[in-house]
Amino acid sequence: MKRWHQEVMGHLAFWVIIMFTYALSEFGYSHSFADAFLYEILFLPVRVIAVYLNWFVLIPRILYKNRVLPYLLSLALILFLLAFAQRIFAIYWAVPNFFPQWQSSTPNPWDLIRIFQSLVIIAAPVAFSTGIRIYLDWNLQKNKSQRLQKEKLDAELKYLRSQLNPHFLFNTLNNLYGLAREKSPKVPGLILKLSDFLSYSLYENQQSESSLKKEISLVNDYIELELARYGERVQLEKSFPEEISEDIKVPAFLLLPLIENVFKHGVKEETGTARIRLSMNLSSNMMEFKVINTIPEEITRANAGYGIGLKNLRRRLEILYDERHELNATTNQNQFTVHLKLHLNE
């Protein structure tokens, strides 16, 4: 159903409820229900004017500008004028023509008690509709804020993911350049592997999620590219689960920044043998991934591993997982450790 259809139906339902409520209350004063309902139809325009003057004019133009006192005074004046108009309408036209049995021998249009009674009757739907209007506007504003926040976060995520490919490509081309200068026979195979990387990147970078199995495969391929460059300078230990379900989904390019970080800030700066230990544990709703690598003694805590890739990953996880993740990076003597915990299937 279109929105304006919903609004029209909502307003019609509001007035039907108001009319039947007042008709039933009049019926309780020994009037027939037919007379009571006719009475409500005759005086409905007065209530409609009051409600919609308040709805379309007073609330948006005065109340929503934080002018509460002018709003209350304006509303009180309008209600009094409409109550007086209703009193005149009842005495000189409605009652004589439709309800002569109710007519008083000496009707007084300035009867303040009667005017006040009419004012209260008119004010009730105005107050009710004011509550509805404020709630609807608050809910609309809340949804708008949430939508804008989501659009902002989506734009930020796209920007962060767009930074992954150039960063990865820059590092990998540097690897191939080094091997090409050495005229390594591995270059053609590595170029083919790089082609697979780029193909994967073009597809997965359009997706918010990827399977954990694919992410691990990407990590293994990247490590092969790096090992082809550094050779025996790197001692690597890996411990990954043997069986990983395709149903386990994680953010695309979740693990690669951590591995890039190892080679960029650890292996590249290491003059001796660089040691890397990768381990992953999976439970029904938790993934733990730990990366430990040695770093030269002269590398300080400030630049041991806090590169662009790790900062981007941290921000992505804050957006996507909020409190359902932990990412800790620590430096201990000549060792840098990154420990990632991720809650799955939530």
DSSP result, 55-82: IIIIHHHTGGGT-HHHHHHHHHHHHHHH
Q: Are 37 and 23 within 8 A, CB to CB?
A: yes
Decide which of 115, 145, 175 is a domain's last residue.
145
- Is the separation of the CB atoms in 71 and 133 below 8 Å? no
User: pLDDT tens track of the chain, all 346 residues?
Assistant: 567 778 888 888 888 888 877 776 765 555 667 777 777 788 888 889 999 999 999 999 999 988 999 999 999 999 999 999 888 887 777 766 776 666 665 677 787 888 888 888 889 899 999 999 999 999 988 988 888 777 777 766 666 555 555 655 776 788 788 778 888 888 888 888 778 777 776 666 567 788 899 889 888 888 887 887 777 888 999 999 988 888 899 988 889 889 888 887 777 666 678 899 999 999 888 999 999 998 876 665 555 555 677 888 888 888 888 888 999 998 887 889 999 999 986 5
Quickly list H helices, 209-307: 212-230, 256-262
Confidence at residue 171, expressed as pLDDT on a 0 to 100 scale: 66
Q: For the chain, what's the residue count?
A: 346
Quick one: 19 and 136 in the same domain? yes
The verdict on residue 200 lying in a domain is no
Q: What domain range includes position 266?
A: 207-343
Query: Are 139 and 232 in a shared domain?
Result: no
Q: In this structure, is residue 278 part of a structural domain? A: yes
Q: Are residues 141 and 10 in the same domain?
A: yes
Which pLDDT belongs to residue 237?
93
Same domain, 213 and 339: yes
- Is 217 contained in some domain? yes
What CATH number did the domain enclosing 276 receive? Answer: 3.30.565.10
Is residue 248 a contact partner of residue 213, using CB atoms and an 8 Å limit? Answer: yes
Dihedral sign, CA of 180, 185, 186, 187? positive
> What φ, ψ does residue 109 adopt, rounded to 5°?
-65, -20
Residues 137 and 222 in one domain: no
Q: In this structure, are 8 and 136 located in the same domain?
A: yes
Residue 188 located in a structural domain: no
Only one residue has tokens 């694919």, namely: 214
Has residue 196 been placed in a domain? no
> Which structure tokens are listed for 173?
């081309």
233 in a structural domain: yes
Same domain? For 220 and 336 the reply is yes
Q: Which of 122, 145, 168 is the last residue of a domain?
A: 145
Q: Are residues 101 and 227 in the same domain?
A: no
Residue 302 CA to residue 125 CA, distance in Å, equals 65
pLDDT number for residue 138 = 92
| Final residue of a structural domain among 101, 128, 145 | 145
The H-assigned helical ranges of the chain are: 3-27, 33-53, 59-61, 68-89, 95-98, 112-181, 187-204, 212-230, 256-262, 308-321
Note the Cα 145 to chain centre separation in Å: 8
276 to each of 258, 261, 264, how far by Cα in Å?
12, 12, 13
CA dist., res. 58 & res. 51, Å (int): 10
Judgement on whether residues 18 and 123 belong to the same structural domain of the protein: yes
Residues 127 and 211 in one domain: no
**Are residues 212 and 139 located together in one domain of the fold?**
no
Q: Which of 64, 42, 46 is CA-nearest to residue 130?
A: 64
Determine the Cα–Cα distance for residues 221 and 195; give it in Å rounded to an integer.
11
Q: Estimate to the nearest angstrom the gap between the alpha carbon of 168 and the chain centroid.
A: 30
Contact 270, 177 (CB under 8 A): no
* Same domain assignment for residues 217 and 107: no
The structural domain count of the chain equals 2
| Interacting residues of 335 by C-beta distance below 8 A, sequence separation 6+ | 292, 293, 294, 295
Quote the Cα angle for 151-153-159, to 5°: 105
> What is the model's pLDDT at position 74?
94
Q: What is the DSSP letter of 90?
A: I
Q: What is the DSSP letter of 304?
A: S
Within-domain flag for 177: no
* pLDDT at residue 276, rounded to an integer: 93
Within a domain: residue 79?
Answer: yes
Q: For residue 177, what are the contacts with CB-CB under 8 A and spacing of at least 6?
A: none
Evaluate the CA torsion angle 320, 322, 324, 327 in order and state its sign. positive
